[in-house]
Amino acid sequence: MKLRSLIRILVWVLFLPLILAFGYVLVACMLTWIPANGTFEEPTDGVRIYLISNGAHVDICVPMDHPQMDWAEYMPVPGWQYHRFGYVAFGWGERNFYLNTPTWNDLTLDVAAEALFLPSESAMHVSGWERAPRSSDRVRTVMISDEAYGYLVEYILASLKVESNAPVVIPDAHYHADRDAFLEATGNYHLLFTCNNWANRGLKEIGVKTATWAPFPQSVLYHLPR
């Protein structure tokens, strides 16, 4: 092989990942800016939900107890009977990443590579909140109708694996003792459908104004009122 051809191959090997990454971010920015459900208006009455970002991941937070769903009764999470949580946050994501990366210091290259490049199993992180999250740069709130909330409940339920009419709790998997848990979830995590895409799809399905495609937390929150 000629030296020039070898150099050309090496250049492509080095720069192609950068080109693909730039294209991914560019498309994400464009589709964040273009809204779905652009005519959405908040109702005066209904159910207030919250979108909570930790900087990398967005949870959907809803009332724990509502006439349409009592989440505490539905989910057999150990220890929750000792708390009076007013809200519960749901976050769908990559199973291996969730269970083996409690902090960013625990992140390893193989876990990150699997989460980014290979379709992989998912899990649902659920966490209890005594009261509604406070407004901040990383928290958005929106009022939705009771009908829309019913659709959101259905969306969340469809994301959970169920056995014997109850979600499947992953044993000994949690971050904060009896305040949170991980449940087996449906669907595969991959580069084109991330944890943030899950939250984004939920908002789209209930008619809330949100990004057309949202792989990043900033994309999910972009169109929501502060």
Of 74 and 116, more confident: 74
| Whole-angstrom distance, CA of residue 126 vs CA of residue 197 | 17
3-state class of 225 per DSSP?
Answer: coil
Q: What percentage of the chain exceeds 70 in pLDDT?
A: 82
Task: List the 47-53 sheet strands across, edge first.
Answer: 139-144, 47-53, 58-63, 87-94, 122-129, 180-184
- Using one digit for the tens of pLDDT, what is the confidence trace for 177-187? 678 889 999 99
pLDDT at 102 over 60: no
Under 8 Å between Cβ of 89 and 59: yes
Q: Are 128 and 143 in contact (CB under 8 A)?
A: no
| Average confidence score pLDDT of the chain | 87
Q: In this predicted model, what pLDDT tens digit does every residue of 15-27 receive, in sequence order?
A: 667 787 888 889 9
**Per-residue pLDDT, 210:** 97
Sorting pLDDT into bands at 50, 70 and 90, what band is 109?
low
- Compare 195 and 82 and report the one with higher pLDDT: 195
Furthest-apart CA atoms within the chain: distance in Å: 73
Q: pLDDT-based confidence at 80, cuts 50/70/90?
A: confident
Determine the angle formed by the axes of helices 146-158 and 195-205, rounding to 10 degrees.
140
Are the C-beta atoms of residues 124 and 183 closer than 8 Å to each other?
A: yes
As a whole number, mean pLDDT of residues 181-194 equals 93
| AA letter at 128 | G
Helix runs in 166-206, H state only: 195-205
Mean pLDDT, rounded, for 149-163: 96
Q: In angstroms, how far is CA 217 from the centroid of its own chain? A: 9
Could you give the percent of the chain with pLDDT greater than 90? Answer: 59
Higher-pLDDT residue of 169 and 15 is 169
